A and B are shown apart, each in its own frame.
Chain A
């Protein structure tokens, strides 16, 4: 088992190089790089007129000027040389500077961690706190009116895109009824508030985005839990427990619950990715400066150092998360022994 996990850890390095090299190469060949975008913007008009002096555009650029621009955006070297340089810097924990914000990439990402962490951890806790008991109850009372209604609600949330829920929530609860702020992670005067005031402020701002984030995330876990429990309820050991004189509730609590958690444990390790999670659509609607929006804009605006920086962090977290998930499964399921001889 230890050897298995060691192998898994050693595989991280080649996988990481594969992923980053692929994306790095893609950034070099896709059309519409920063230089072309600059030119297009300067020339194409919008829908309405304006009085403007145009000293910033026009004229042709010489080869030399274009080389300077290419060098500025790091397009002057062959792909592999460029990649090797970039990787060398990453190994020294230097993700470079953003070509749009001119700030170090690491600082830009770090600034947004609290937002991702807050929403990630809150979503995580709420999802498990709601889904596990709900799944258990639905499993125990399968086919009841409660089961049908809760399925309806859960699937309704699952079926609606989260940004639609976001827009509806903001229009209703913030626009018309004024119960919540229209957006932002905290108020503009956050720094002047007391500690308790700040906590309140964060939660007041978080309610609507959390609803949008979570509406779709209940279905999967709830049904995984419910179906696992129903499988286990018909297992032999449950019959044995009943024969021993345990009530159904006691049998479920003492025997079936832990076993039903196994399917959920298979993805538990990947929760480490909440560190860098976020949906750009929800962040756009709620005006939150999070990592989702950062990554989306970086791709759109061809801010390659940021794209690569987020990729470095997210791919590492993903790979570590997969290993953690395997560990979790091994912990909750004593039958599982990775890397050992297969047992019948």
Chain B
């Protein structure tokens, strides 16, 4: 058991392998540093925003802890806590350039692995203590500590971030082990400080700090915890960053109450009654069926569909090249042409999802937009299969070759996808391919796939970061062995060469070019078949919530996110609230009624 666990690889930071030992940071601050900052980008909030009010939202499970790290600190509530835990630099949600957060300036060392930051002297913890270089030095030892029971953080802050040095109270240096373009280094090495004066690190830390409210640097702090019921945040009266360029006009509600409602259908009833201010409508069932009725017709509640441009999960069918007949490229191509993804979108997904074209979408310049995923085409499937010697069909219509039926086992782990897969399997039969559907629970399926015991895996890897990851998914170092993310067992020397070039290149133009070429190779390899993406957010909201005229930003994955890098843009209009409640009592509409907004500003192709 522990062997299996031991080797479960989650190689996001694949670059750790075979890296030369890095030289440490200089003892004295180099004099010739080119300090940079960014106060030129447009602001992305509305000057019309009003402060005040209580924003009411929900989660389906009460948080198990208020710690930011350690066991169970990764639930749905964690996003609220992390959003108030500012980093050194942020990412401008539209331009994707770095912007100041806790640091005002940054500079790059000439070794390509070190960054220096000048801290904002105004920065304060919620208990009034200033944020100093010591909090960053402490953060590193904190994140490396065994006592926090967070081995992945332990690793990241040992292997990716190798050193943090204090030069004076407001200047630090951070050394990373990974050579990447400057903007990505900033993003990866943007360490959050940890308040040294708050923590006592010992073996009881996980338990002792489970419900303690840690001082933070963001706009909100927890003001009330009612276990099992709700957590309330209150805006800091004199938040240090109130008037900073990219923070002004944002984080407007005075209070944010996160209520626990364990059933999504019941949560919708709360919303319908006006006891929640907004409601996510990503699920087709909600958007098309549930979100109907008087509150919409009368215009008290609006619906909005907002296209965004963020890294998409790598969604699709992964074919294991080590499992015959999938070792034959022609068979893989034929399967791609036999998958009627569009039919699934048009039927069970109600046309809501869109076809994913490549593995890595939503990475800005890195995304290769010239590639089109193979379309459902029985003639092409037939041609490839005939070439590959699968020309005969058995009595049940499935192709046979040397007594073997062309049957592919598809491992998947979400019963909600049954209908999608049944349609694909039915359509694939027309091409003489049998897809044998094999539903397992999440952990079991994941284990089977990581042990390469699958033929085809129907899954989604989470997309993250600023650029696509190729080494972990396609390099031969990770092929033919269990517990790696190369679940297709791609083993292609030309690809290996290009992947290594991509990993060592630090100039963005080169990296983008290589990423495009790699994506083309992934397409030609044919072992990953892209399926769906959801490049937008959909929500319903009571119209006393006001959004800026541009609704959201390029990277808004939610429009009514009260905190976070692209969050806190909306505000509550108390006068409108009274007006809507008044109209509701009288049964009169609020024009324009009904209100459906579709914003395609950031829609790709």
Contact = CB atoms under 8 A, between A and B. Distances in A.
Interface of A: 31-63, 65-70, 72, 75, 97, 99-103, 167, 170-171, 174-175, 178, 182-184, 188, 283-287, 289, 293, 297
Contacts of B152: 42, 56-59, 61
Contacts of A59: 10-13, 16, 152, 155-156, 159-160
B202 to A, nearest CB: 14
Closest 4 A-B residue pairs measured CB to CB?
Answer: A45-B313, A58-B12, A32-B443, A45-B462
B5 A55 contact: no
A178 B273 CA distance: 9
Contacts of A284: 262-263
B588 interface: no
B272 A175 contact: yes
A63 B230 CA distance: 39
Contacts of A54: 12, 462, 464-465
Contacts of B447: 31, 36
A58 B459 contact: no
B565 interface: yes
A45 B315 contact: yes
Contact of A66 (B6, B228, B261, B442): B6
B207 A57 contact: no
A51 B96 CA distance: 11
A43 B263 contact: no
A35 B5 CA distance: 7
Contact of B74 (A51, A56, A72): A56
Interface string B55-74: 00000010011000101101
A289 B187 CA distance: 40
A40 B445 CA distance: 10
Interface size class of B (residues with CB under 8 A): 35 or more
A287 B264 CA distance: 11
B156 A49 contact: no
Interface string B438-465: 0001111011000000000001111111
B10 A285 contact: no
10 contacts: A31-B443, A42-B74, A44-B462, A49-B534, A51-B555, A52-B462, A56-B150, A60-B9, A69-B151, A284-B262
A182 B313 CA distance: 35
B446 A44 contact: yes
A58 B461 contact: no
Contacts of B272: 175
B154 A65 contact: yes
A287 B152 CA distance: 34
Contacts of A287: 260-263, 266
A234 to B, nearest CB: 50
A37 to B, nearest CB: 6
B534 A48 contact: yes
Kindly name the residue among A34, A37, A100 whose own CB sees the greatest number of chain B CB atoms within 10 A: A100
Contacts of B282: 47-48
A58 B13 contact: yes
A77 to B, nearest CB: 12
A56 B72 CA distance: 12
A167 B262 CA distance: 13
A188 B261 CA distance: 13
Contacts of B61: 297
A40 B12 contact: no
A70 B444 CA distance: 19
Given A49-B308, A53-B465, A44 B273 contact: no
Interface in B342-384: 353, 362
A42 B69 contact: no
A188 B10 CA distance: 42
Given A56-B74, A72-B71, A170-B269, A45 B308 contact: no
Interface string B1-22: 1101111111111001000000
Contacts of B313: 45-49
Contacts of B464: 52-54
A46 B310 CA distance: 13
A68 B151 contact: yes
B517 to A, nearest CB: 23
A49 B443 contact: no
Contact of B6 (A31, A48, A61, A183): A61
Given A41-B74, A63-B6, A53 B187 contact: yes
A187 B261 CA distance: 14
B192 to A, nearest CB: 9
Interface string B271-296: 01101000000100000000000000
B460 A51 contact: no
A45 B460 contact: yes
B229 interface: yes
A44 B156 contact: no
A49 to B, nearest CB: 4
B310 A51 contact: yes
